[in-house]
Structure 1
Amino acid sequence: MLIAITEKSQRFISYEYTRNVLQQLRQQGKFYCPQCQQPVQLKIGTINIPHFAHIANQACDRLFAEGESVLHLKGKIQLFEWLKKLGHTVELEPYLSKLAQRPDILLTKQDQLVAVEFQCSSISYEKWRARTDGYKKERIEALWLFQTPPKKSSLGIHKISITPLMQQVITRPLQGLPYIVTFDANTSQFIYWSNLLHLQGHTFITKVQCLPSEKQGYPFFEPKSISKDEFNRYWQLYKKTGEQYVYQRLLRSKKGVQDPFLRSCYEMSFSLESMPPYVGLPVKNSEAIPCFSIEWQTMLHYFCRQLQLQPHELCKGDIQLFLHQLGVEPTAASVQAVEDYSVVLEKAFSSTDSISAICEQVYVHLFAIDTVC
């Protein structure tokens, strides 16, 4: 921890002093934990950032974090100084007695309190949920910033795996595709995983962008939608991944034509080597259906043929029945994903069924625009 209380009951921030000054102060006085009031030791190493820690065998009943990594201490300082330079009222490591919680930073913006949590280490969903709910109960907004994972800050358009917990902090704008902002304490940069397009499971296609902290504002800047040319790169990567998925599914399936997906392909006369261009389309809300779009959309066409209906003619009850058969919970988001696919399909076929026409309709629908520039 970076904060301690002096013998004069004053808050003391360790990183604001040089090591030489800290060594003198350590000999002259004592420091105490802001929560449990027990003595703490000031650690002044040559590698780690100067910080405080409880004396061995002492137990802080309020669970002040111990063993923080260099990266976490560094990132916490960088974020604190960044918010101060922006002119915000911020407090480092405040103790919230009502919650028995200590956010890394507490930001006061007008009448709104924001608890900033810089997360470097792994944390369980249950602990994350409890802390988030605790803040919410006291009408404090929780801002979780995850340390940018190694090898996931390479700029450009990539496939990327996002953990279930990080998916909880995805920002979903009214228009365009969702995004996540992470922070890289190694470079003091905010990394945007923008325009997230779900593939399957925890895999997405994203455009990775970076913004140095000195250029970042708060609230965060929202990333722009990708261009039509960039979407074509998304499209190519998406379709290529779909082809690989079908090939691997064919090799690994032990059920043969009893496999629901392969059975649907057989009944619809879909060639696994060259699937129709209108299946495997990216649509909004697709992360609500865990399997790859090429699978559930093929099975949807077979389901529709059995009902002698077109996808856009399905009622909500039909869609819920289809999702049940697929083994997917018929939530509002999963139903909407099927409806979104039906809309794209109907618009694409109303003019032409060429690949370019379908691609254009997908782009228009994903980014909620009226015309394509």
Structure 2
Amino acid sequence: MLAAVDINGSSVVLAGTDAKQTALSLKKTPHFCPQCGCPVVIKAGDVNIPHFAHETYSSCDSFSEHESPRHLAAKIDLFNWITRTHDAVMEARLPNGSQRPDILSGTIAVEYQCSTISASLFRERTKKYRVGGLNPFWIYGGPSIERKGRYVKLTPFQRLFLRYHAQLGFYFISYCPDLKFFTIYGRIIPVTISLCLAVRLDVKVEDMPFPPSAVFLTEFTYPLAPFFDEKRKWIDQSLNYSNARNHPFFRTVYESGRNPHLLSEEIGLPVRSGMAIRNHAAEWQFYIAYDRKNGSAKEAANIVRRRIQKGHLKETIMPLAPMMTPEQAAEDYVALLKEIKIKRGIDSQSRGGKIRREEEFCLLHEKRIIDRLIF
């Protein structure tokens, strides 16, 4: 931890250019954990960043304990960055004493997270901040986003940090204390279960305003063809390397007398809130087409929720984008079909014919489909 209180209850923060000098001058002065009140000691060697630590093992529930040097360095950077323009408190103890944000500035609780934590803990901490009237602002500090050619690969843990903005779409913010810059991935659109298209922007810490904001100067011109290409690869891989008979999607397709390779083109399209469903778009959109009776948006939303309850689909946990739900994805999909005037497509008769129809579909509908991804 970087903050403690002295015997008079005054806060002491080990941040800034004189942090080590301050730490050395206070080493023999008693200090205490603001969370549990237990004694802490100052550690200020030649290698580690100056910080406070409990004298002995403690069950203190402070979330600032056991931090890596990377975490400590990032917190100092972020604190200095915020205090250039705003008042802020390092490791502020909240009135209810339940948790301590890394940095508190006004009603914004900044959390820098390097190590992986469970989705349930991430969601619980986010909820507690909101209940307390605070806006939780999580910044990712773990391993870099993995790239796969033109795509990025987001792990379930990384997806916890996703937010949504009308102009940025789904976006993700990380900070690297080694390079001293933020990386923002915006306009994130899922292409397969794990791969996404995204626009990347690197911003030096001194150039980033607080709260963070970003403008992507490149035009939003994702082509539609890669979605069809990757859907074809996903189907091939799923059928060749897994037991498709036990996969609820493929089992349902075959039981309906259809071929997953030849499904009509409107099954598997990208939609604005599709990230809310962990499965491939072809899966949940096929279920909507297969189960629907009247074709309404509400019916589609109910179909998706029922399939989630049956275990056929999985919901993506995104505590920072609560408005983006599987139901919203279903409603967006129905709205898209209405806009491009497709009620119920016809399956292809051959693989070659399927590819030709996809090319024709792109020529007719690509602009409308892509334009609907970002408002």
Q: TM-score, with normalisation over the residues of structure 2?
A: 0.77
CA contact (8 A) 2:267 2:285 kept: yes
Structure 2 distance, partners of 1:299, 1:134, is 36
CA contact (8 A) 2:145 2:152 kept: no
Structure 2 distance, partners of 1:197, 1:18, is 43
Distance verdict in 2 for CA 1:323–1:220, change over 3 Å: same
What amino acid is aligned across from residue 269 of structure 2 in structure 1? L
Match of 1:54 in 2: 54
Match of 2:165 in 1: 173
The correspondence for 2:298, drawn from 298, 316, 338, is: 316
Structure 1 distance, partners of 2:307, 2:43, is 60
TM alignment of 1:1-373, pairs within 5 A: 1-7=1-7, 9-16=9-16, 17=18, 19=20, 22-27=23-28, 29-57=29-57, 59=58, 61=60, 63=62, 65-85=64-84, 87-108=85-106, 113-147=107-141, 149-152=142-145, 157-164=150-157, 166-175=158-167, 177-201=169-193, 203-224=195-216, 227-229=219-221, 231-232=222-223, 235-252=224-241, 254=243, 260-261=249-250, 264=253, 272=261, 276-302=264-290, 313-314=295-296, 316-317=298-299, 320-321=302-303, 324=306, 327-328=312-313, 333-348=325-340, 354-368=361-375
Distance verdict in 2 for CA 1:359–1:167, change over 3 Å: same
What amino acid is aligned across from residue 104 of structure 1 in structure 2? D
Structure 1 distance, partners of 2:122, 2:256, is 46
Distance verdict in 2 for CA 1:290–1:116, change over 3 Å: closer
What SS class does the counterpart of residue 145 from structure 1 fall into? strand
Structure 1 distance, partners of 2:59, 2:324, is 45
Structure 2 distance, partners of 1:252, 1:155, is 20
Structure 2 distance, partners of 1:170, 1:198, is 12
CA contact (8 A) 2:181 2:203 kept: yes
What SS class does the counterpart of residue 76 from structure 2 fall into? helix
Shift of 1:257: 11
What SS class does the counterpart of residue 4 from structure 1 fall into? strand
Shift of 1:115: 1.4
Q: Which has the higher contact order (CA 8 A, sep 6+)?
A: 2
Question: Which runs of no fewer than 5 residues in structure 1 stay unpaired?
Answer: 369-373
What SS class does the counterpart of residue 267 from structure 2 fall into? coil
Distance verdict in 2 for CA 1:18–1:183, change over 3 Å: closer
Q: Deviations over 1:194-213 (max 9, x none)?
A: 11112354543322221111
CA contact (8 A) 1:80 1:90 kept: yes
Shift of 1:360: 1.3
CA contact (8 A) 2:300 2:330 kept: no
Higher alpha-carbon deviation: 251-260 or 214-223: 251-260
Structure 1 distance, partners of 2:260, 2:59, is 65
What SS class does the counterpart of residue 264 from structure 1 fall into? helix
Distance verdict in 2 for CA 1:278–1:106, change over 3 Å: same
CA contact (8 A) 1:261 1:299 kept: no
Distance verdict in 2 for CA 1:334–1:225, change over 3 Å: farther
CA contact (8 A) 2:3 2:14 kept: yes
In the alignment of these two chains, the number of paired residues is 348
CA contact (8 A) 1:94 1:105 kept: yes
CA contact (8 A) 2:146 2:152 kept: no
Q: Deviations over 1:294-333 (max 9, x none)?
A: 33434544556xx6x8xxx446336634764684599994
Distance verdict in 2 for CA 1:265–1:287, change over 3 Å: farther
What SS class does the counterpart of residue 172 from structure 1 fall into? strand
CA contact (8 A) 1:189 1:212 kept: yes
CA contact (8 A) 1:40 1:52 kept: yes
Shift of 1:176: 5.5
Shift of 1:259: 6.3
Q: Deviations over 1:141-170 (max 9, x none)?
A: 2211121x3232779952322325x43442
Shift of 1:94: 1.9
Structure 2 distance, partners of 1:41, 1:332, is 45
Distance verdict in 2 for CA 1:120–1:154, change over 3 Å: same
What amino acid is aligned across from residue 152 of structure 1 in structure 2? I
State, as a whole percentage, how many aligned pairs show the same letter: 23
Distance verdict in 2 for CA 1:42–1:209, change over 3 Å: same
What amino acid is aligned across from residue 284 of structure 1 in structure 2? R
Distance verdict in 2 for CA 1:106–1:335, change over 3 Å: closer
What amino acid is aligned across from residue 91 of structure 1 in structure 2? V
CA contact (8 A) 2:64 2:91 kept: no
What amino acid is aligned across from residue 317 of structure 1 in structure 2? E
CA contact (8 A) 2:32 2:40 kept: yes
Greater gyration radius: 1
Distance verdict in 2 for CA 1:139–1:69, change over 3 Å: same
What amino acid is aligned across from residue 230 of structure 2 in structure 1? T
Structure 1 distance, partners of 2:120, 2:305, is 28
Question: Which runs of no fewer than 5 residues in structure 2 stay unpaired?
Answer: 316-322, 343-356
